[in-house]
Structure 1
Amino acid sequence: MNLKHRPLLTTLALLALTACGTESVGNRDRAEERRGTKAAIPAPVKEETVKGLPGMPPVLDPKDVYAADRPNQLSPVVKDFPSRVYVPNSESDTVSVIDPTTYEVIETIPVGGQPQHVVPSWDLKTLWVNNNRGHTLTPIDPKTGRAGREVEVHDPYNLYFTPNGRYAIVMASLDRELVFRDPHTMERIKTEPVTCYGVNHADFSLDGRYFIVSCEFSGELLKVDTEQMKVVAQQKLPFDGAMPQDVKISPDGKRFYIADMMAHGMWVLDGDKFTTPSFLPTGKGCHGLYVSRDSREMYVSNRGEGTVSVFDFTRNQLTKKWQLPEGGSPDMGGVSADGKVLWLSGRYDSEVYAIDTGTGAELARIPVGAGPHGLAVYPQPGRYSLGHTGIFR
C-alpha cells in the first residue's frame, strides 16, 4: 500500500488502526504462549513459478536446476547403495568397478559389444550399460553390483529419460534415430528419424518441455519437443568440421553449453530462441561437461591435451585450467556425491583419473580395460535421473 498519495487524516487514521491491531495481536500471542495454546505458524511455501512438463516433479528452485544435487543429498532410494565408479571399456566389452575409497578395481563385469555409457535410470534403481555394437542394454543392480539379463535394443549409443519418467530415449547414432521407449521394459514406443548424423548427447530445459541434442558427425544441433517426441528445430554449427559432444544447461536454465572436440571449446546457446550460438575456447578436444555440487562451476574435460578447464557460471568466464601431470585423455565421467572428486575416463590410455575439485590435483590414476568411455559415479545426489552418465535433478 502506498501511503505517499493518501490524504493526511486518512493516513494517520490508518497508522493508528494498524498500531492498535498489532498491539492486540501481540498481547493475544503472549497470552497464548503462557497458556501453551498458540499454534505453530507454518513456514511460507515457495510458490512454483515454472510450469513444467506434465508429470514432472516440481522444479525446486527456478533459479537453479541443480538445486537437488547438493553434497551428499542422496535420495532415500539410493542412500544405502555402496559408492562405486562404473567404467564401460568399449574395446574390452567389460565394465570395471572401482571402489572410490581405495582407488582400486574390485570387479570386472563382462557385458555386450562396445559398451559406451553407464546410465542411471530415471527412478535411480538401475544402471543401464549401453552396448552399442552388441545392440543390447545390460542392467546392473547398484545395490548388489550384479548384472541382469541383457535387453535387446538396436544401436544404443547413449540413453536419456524424459523428466517425467514416462519414456527412455535411445540415441541411435548410426541408425539416425531418436527412439522413445518404455523406461522399464525398453519396448519401442515411437521412433523419430533425424536428418543429421551421429546423435549422441543431450540435456533438457528447465521446464523439461524440450531438449537439445548434439549431432557429432554432421556438426548440427537439434531441438526436440519432449511431449510431442518430435524434432522442432535444427541448425548447423558455424564452424567447418564442428564435432559437438556433451550438452549441459546452465543453473538458471537460460543457456546450453555444448562441448566441441574439433572447435576446441564450448558453444553457448539460447535454447528457447535457438539462435546461432556464441563460442568459448577451452582446450584441445573439449569433450565432457560436469557441474559442481554448489552450481557455481562447470568442469570441462579437454581430451586432446590432458587438461580440465573450470568455468565460472556467475562470472561467465574460464577461471582455471588443470593439467594432468603425466598427460592423458580425460573424457566422460561425473562428480562424487560429496563434490570433492571429479572422475574421468582416460579414453585412449586405458585408465581413469580422480581429480581433487578444490585444487585440481590428481588423486589417482587407475588402470582399467581398453577404451574406457562414459563412466558413472554412483550414487549421486538428486531426485531423479535424466540419463547419460548422470544428469540429476
Structure 2
Amino acid sequence: MAALVFRKAGLWLAFFVFGLAAAAGARADEAFVTNQLSETVSVVDLDSFEVVATIPVAGKPAGVVVSHDGSRAYVTSPEGLFFTVIDTAARKVLKQVPLEHGYLGIEISTDDKRLFIADWFRHRITVFDTASLERIADIPVGDSPSGMWATADGTRLLTCDRDSNQISVIDLATLKVVGTAKVGERPFAVTATKDGKRAFVANVKTNDVSVVDLETLKEIKRIPVGDTPYGVAITEGHGFVTDQHAGEITIFDVKTLEPVDTLDVDGFPEGIATSLDGTKVYVANWDLDTLSEIDAESHKVLREVDVDDGTRAFGQFIRKVD
C-alpha cells in the first residue's frame, strides 16, 4: 500500500511539474507596432503589456501586416521605397525588398502565400510571392489605393481607392478586379465580416463609415462617426473606428448599424486591430506614442504602454504566438 501511495504521489508530482513547465513556456500573442518618426517596430507582449523588443526599420515605417502563422511581419516604408520582412520570433530584419513609389497599405492572403501592397501613385496593387519575394502581378485599381482587406474565405481582396471614392474587389484566383462599389469621400481603411457579406469602409472626408453589401456591391448605410476616421475594426458585435482628429473611438452596432458609444483616447488614434479572440481592441496613438488596450464589451481602456515616436500601425499588426 505504501508503494502504491508513493507511486500515486510521484505521478501527481510529475503532472504538477509538467504543468508548471508548460505554463512557463506559454507565450502571449504580440503586437508589432510601426513607429514612423523613430523608424522602429515595437513588439508588445499582450499579456504583460510591455515592450519586449524594438526592431530598427528604415524609411519611416507605417503599414504593417503579420502573417497568419505568426512567423513573419511585413512593413511598408513610404519614404524608403521598399518593404521590410521581419522574422517575428528572432526579432530581426530578414530582407528589404525594393519598390518604386510610396506604398502604405499592405495585406496578406489567408494562406500566407501572397503579399499585397498598395501603390498610391501608380494606382495599382502589387502582388509578391512570400516564398521567393518576387513580384508576380500588378493589378490596376482606382486612384490612390490605401487600406486593404482579404476576405476570410481567401477569395477576394478589398481595396480602398481613396481618390476615386470607391472600393475595388479583386478576385484572388484571377488577380483581376471583378467589381467596384461607390462609398463616401476619401475612403482610407476597410474591414469585412467573417462571412464575407459586408464591408465597413472608413471615409476620411465625410466622417462616416460606409456599409457595403459585398454580394450586390451596393452601399446600404452610412454610419456617422467622429472627425477624420482613419481605421476600422470589428468584433462579433461591434465596430470600432479611430477618429483621428477627434481623439476618440466611435463604436457602432454591427447589426443595427447605429453608433452606440464613443471613447475618448486623447491624441491622434490611428491604426486599430482586434485581438485574435475578439475580446480586446488595440489602438495606436500617433502623438502620444502609445498603444491602448480596450475591452470590446465594456468599451473601457484597460491599459496603455509607451512604444516609440510617431506610432502608426496601419494594418493587421497582431501576431499569433503558438
Same fold (TM over 0.5): yes
Q: Equivalent residue for 1:367? A: 306
**Alpha-carbon contact 1:82-1:142 (below 8 Å) kept:** no
Q: How does 1:370-385 map to 2 (within 5 A)?
A: 370-374=309-313, 376-379=317-320
Name the residue aligned to 1:319.
260
Which residues of 2 match residues 106-125 of structure 1 at below 5 A?
106-125=52-71
The residue aligned with 1:191 is 138
Match of 1:304, as an amino acid? H
Report if aligned partners of 2:28, 2:47 keep a CA contact under 8 Å in 1: no
- 95, 102, 109: which is aligned to 1:162? 109
| Aligned: 1:305 with 2:246 | yes
Q: Deviations over 1:171-203 (max 9, x none)?
A: 112232211221222211111233x32211122
What is the deviation of 1:113? 0.1
Are 2:67 and 2:319, in contact at CA under 8 Å, matched by a contact in 1?
A: no
Query: Contact conserved, 1:88 with 1:96, CA < 8 A, in 2?
Result: yes
- Report if the CA contact (8 A) 1:225-1:231 is conserved: yes
> Matched residue of 1:217: which SS?
helix
Distance 2:203 2:138 in 1: 27
Query: Aligned-residue CA RMSD in angstroms?
Result: 2.6
Cα pair distance change 1:164/1:366, threshold 3 Å: closer
Measured after TM superposition, the shift of residue 251 of structure 1 is 3.8
Structure 1 residues 279 and 139, CA gap change in structure 2 (3 angstroms):
same
Deviation at residue 120 of structure 1 after TM alignment: 1.2
Matched, 1:287 2:230: yes
Change (3 A) 1:287 1:380: farther
1:168 and 1:181 in contact (8 A); partners too: yes
Query: CA, structure 1 residues 315+288, in 2 after alignment: closer, same or farther (shift >3 Å)?
Result: same
Distance 1:363 1:124 in 2: 25
Deviation at 1:205, TM superposition (A): 4.4
CA distance in 2 between partners of 1:204 and 1:377 (Å): 15
Specify whether residues 162 and 118 from structure 1 end up closer, same or farther in structure 2 by C-alpha distance, changes over 3 A only: closer
Alpha-carbon shift at residue 380 of structure 1 (Å): 7.0
Structure 2 CA distance for partners of 1:279 and 1:339, relative to 1, 3 Å: closer
Work out the CA distance in 2 between the residues paired with 1:266 and 1:306. 17
2:291 equivalent to 1:343 = no
1:151 equivalent to 2:97? Answer yes
Q: Judging changes above 3 Å, is the alpha-carbon distance between structure 1 residues 209 and 320 closer, same or farther for their aligned structure 2 residues?
A: same
- 1:231-310 equivalent positions in 2, closer than 5 A: 231-237=177-183, 239=184, 242-292=185-235, 295-310=236-251
TM-score norm. by structure 2 comes to 0.81
Classify 1:205/1:88 alpha carbon distance in 2 versus 1 (closer, same or farther; 3 Å). Answer: closer
| Other structure's SS at 2:62 match | strand
What do residues 133-168 of structure 1 show as CA deviations (whole Å, max 9, x unaligned)?
A: 212222222223233232324444222233454432
CA contact (8 A) 1:176 1:197 kept: yes
User: Aligned partners of 2:116 and 2:129: how far apart in 1?
Assistant: 9
Structure 2 letter corresponding to 1:370: D
User: What is the rounded CA distance, in whole Å, between the counterparts of 1:331 and 1:360 in structure 2?
Assistant: 17
Paired AA for residue 264 in structure 1: N
The count of corresponding residues between Structure 1 and Structure 2 is 295
C-alpha separation between the residues in 2 aligned to 1:340 and 1:278? 26
Change (3 A) 1:224 1:352: same
Q: Report the Cα offset of residue 331 of structure 1.
A: 1.3
Aligned-partner SS, 2:83: strand
One-letter amino acid of the counterpart of residue 223, structure 2: L
Q: Does the C-alpha gap of structure 1 residues 250 and 368 become closer, same or farther in structure 2, counting only changes over 3 Å? A: same
Instruction: Find the counterpart in structure 1 of residue 79 from structure 2.
Output: 133
2:149 is aligned with what amino acid?
D
* Mapped pair 1:328 → 2:267: yes
- Between structure 1 and structure 2, the one with the greater Rg is 1
Q: Distance in 1 between matches of 2:52 and 2:70?
A: 22
Alignment-mate amino acid for residue 159 of structure 1 = I
| Equivalent-residue separation in structure 1 for 2:78 and 2:153 (angstroms) | 30
Q: Select which of 92, 104, 121 maps to 2:50.
A: 104
SS of the residue corresponding to residue 58 of structure 2 reads: coil
**Seq. identity, %:** 22
| Structure-2 residue corresponding to 1:352 | 291
One-letter code of the match for 1:329?
A: F
Unmatched tracts of structure 2, length 5 or more: 1-24
Residue in 2 that maps onto 1:30: none
* Cα shift at 1:122: 4.7
Aligned residue type for 1:261: V
Distance 1:112 1:80, change over 3 A: farther
Contact 1:85–1:377 under 8 Å retained in 2: yes
Q: The residue matched to 1:157 in structure 2 has which SS?
A: strand
Q: 1:345 to 1:256 in 2, by over 3 A?
A: same
Shift of 1:207: 4.5
